[in-house]
Structure 1
């Protein structure tokens, strides 16, 4: 059981009515709170929860309409995403109760100050290195419009400016990260055919590929619903069309790919998390056609080449700069 869920269950008497759990972990909390429903924006968590609790959770970027009288937000990493989620929940809770739970090291006490906009916040429990806060929503705000919270910036690329649209909570919100900047410089000579942008984020890499290789079929894949929505907005801003899908890692990817291009994630919440990338490296060959190519950027301290060579083929370093490396391997 996640420690945040354990803190909630210490106060289970507060959650006897219709309850929405936003950003809940994939544990047994729904089994312990029979009147609760879950809202997730992480495809992996949603998949696990749906298997155990059919029709009690949903995946998306906004809360579904419901008659719940209280809601709990499990603190996300991003302060901007926290603000959006609190507004989105409070908008449906006039006269109801809004709770915030999170780890101390994730900044839950600081985030609790964001509750003050909707009522007087009070800490009702502290255990398992977590805190639980509560407010009574005295004045519900208007439902926030997610696209109005997007940040826009433009990249000057060799083939012209590329417009990028990022939403709260998406990796490198409002700016280009160093790894993606290096990868953008090494997208030459991609093979013809179906190309996958794995871990697409705001769609920077995918949109650039589609513009440079317009005849290629392109799929963008991410585990996060806010990232998938951002990618769609970025493609639309540049008048580009591609398939954008949400799924839990490389297992959700199409087969018979000509290339997999990735700036893979290695954080989940506040935790360092390499599992998705390591699974990508182990399974990439299963999704690539013969002579298909894997090209990715990674922090130079990560020992990925042995894993790439074990499961795919000889690994070539195309670039090494600013603490990042570009790796390429072709399926034998």
Structure 2
């Protein structure tokens, strides 16, 4: 069991009624809580959501608070400070004064910083410190009126050649307030991408998806991400730029294996973080499986940090890998499934 969940169980006497576990790890905490409780999960991680459902745990995959009444909530601290601000706001918008909010997180994950964010809504108390984690409690003294999702959006403009794109990103989404270097290195090559059914794996705020749609109305874009906030951000980016939503197919995935088949191209700035931890599994799986998801002569375009050794993985699968550019610490890698059986 995750150490954060273990700390919650150490203080289970504080818990009762219908409890919402927010951003909880994919473990058995919901089933281990005392009999006087009934636990549900709100997560924006699709892999975790599937894990909860498979374990028979009630799970809500969304960017928005479940439409159910809860007596208590337990928030597992997310990586993003802005995302925690959003979560706290929606929690105190749905709960009432006198109800209880618990906050748990790893010390190295910023739980003490997060506990300070709690203070704007009530007096806080540290209940426990163990397993390199802390558990905090707050009794709600101040509620708020729910603000629309647009209030939490950050937008910025990207200029590529003669095209301008306004990017919309919700809290916690990669590169929320600026164009990241990797994507900036990749974007000038997008006009070379083969026309047709294209997957943008790890779509984030939708920069790649939206620019591909802007370049070619014949592109059918499958925006894939594990994160509900990323998928909603991509949709908002399309809407903000007046792009055709019929071109966009939003698809939550647990990993690249969930991607569609018979693709003309896969384009990606692949993720290599899971929460506060580095995790190369998703991007390495992409390199290994990409060819099996492409049509004959389908294309793989990815950008990656220079130090990430994806080229051999692509060569093992495709038989070749071309470095289109190597600049600012990033490589754009290209492969063609021309030898596909």
**TM-score (structure 1 length as normaliser):** 0.97
1:180 equivalent in structure 2: 183
Q: SS of 1:188's equivalent?
A: helix
Other-structure match for 1:314 = 320
- Are 1:236 and 2:239 an aligned pair? yes
- 3-state SS of paired residue (2:17): coil
1:294 aligns with 2:297: no
Report the counterpart of residue 76 of structure 2 in structure 1. 74
Match of 1:2 in 2: 2
Query: Of 145, 152, 155, which residue of structure 1 is paired with 2:155?
Result: 152
1:223–1:247 CA contact under 8 A, matched in 2: yes
Is the partner of 1:210 in helix, strand or coil? helix
Determine if contact 2:77/2:111 at 8 Å carries over to the other structure.
yes
* Residue in structure 2 matching 1:96, options 92, 95, 99: 99
Question: Shift of the alpha carbon at 1:47?
Answer: 0.8
Assess if the C-alpha contact under 8 Å between 2:93 and 2:143 holds in 1.
yes
2:204–2:234 CA contact under 8 A, matched in 1: yes
Find the partner of 1:40 among 40, 43, 63: 43
**4+ residue segments displaced more than 2 Å:** none
Structure 2 match to 1:266 = 272
Describe the SS at the equivalent of 1:18. strand
Unpaired segments of 5 or more residues in structure 2?
Answer: none
Correspondence list, 1:158-197, <5 A? 158-197=161-200
Structure 1 distance, partners of 2:76, 2:224, is 24
CA displacement at 1:313 relative to structure 2: 2.7
- C-alpha offsets along residues 37-96 of structure 1, whole Å, 9 cap, x if unaligned? 001100011111110125x11100011122211001100000000100011112222121
Determine whether 1:85 maps to 2:91. Answer: no
SS at match of 2:119: helix
Q: Which moved more, 1:30-39 or 1:106-115?
A: 30-39
Q: How much does 1:311 deviate?
A: 1.9
Distance 1:98 1:51 in 2: 27
1:138: Cα distance to partner?
A: 1.5
How far, CA to CA, are the matches of 2:49 and 2:219 in structure 1? 31
Please state how far the C-alpha of 1:281 moved relative to its aligned partner.
1.3
The Cα of 1:12 is off from its aligned counterpart by 1.2
Bigger mean CA offset, 157-166 vs 119-128: 157-166
What is residue 18 of structure 2 aligned with on the other side?
18
How much has 1:172 moved relative to structure 2? 0.7
Distance 2:52 2:308 in 1: 31
Matched residue of 2:87: which SS? helix
Deviation of 1:312 after TM superposition, in Å, equals 2.5
More divergent stretch after superposition (308-317 vs 124-133): 308-317
Q: Does 1:143 align with 2:146?
A: yes
**Aligned residues of 1:315 and 1:328 also touching (Cα < 8 A):** yes
Deviates more, 1:273-282 or 1:238-247: 238-247
In structure 1, what is the equivalent of residue 329 of structure 2?
323
Deviations 1:21-41 (A, max 9, x none): 000110111111251100110
Question: What root-mean-square deviation, in Å, do the aligned CA atoms of Structure 1 and Structure 2 show?
Answer: 1.1
Is 1:201 equivalent to 2:191 in the alignment?
no
The alpha carbon displacement at 1:231 in A equals 0.2
Say whether the 8 Å CA contact 1:22–1:40 is kept in structure 2: yes
* Residue 227, structure 1, aligned to residue 230, structure 2: yes
Tell me which residue corresponds to 1:112: 115
> Given that residues 318 and 326 in structure 1 are in contact (C-alpha distance below 8 angstroms), is that contact kept between their aligned partners in structure 2?
yes
Tell me the distance in 2 between the aligned counterparts of 1:269 and 1:144: 26
- Unaligned runs of 5+ residues in structure 1 are none
Aligned to 1:29: 29
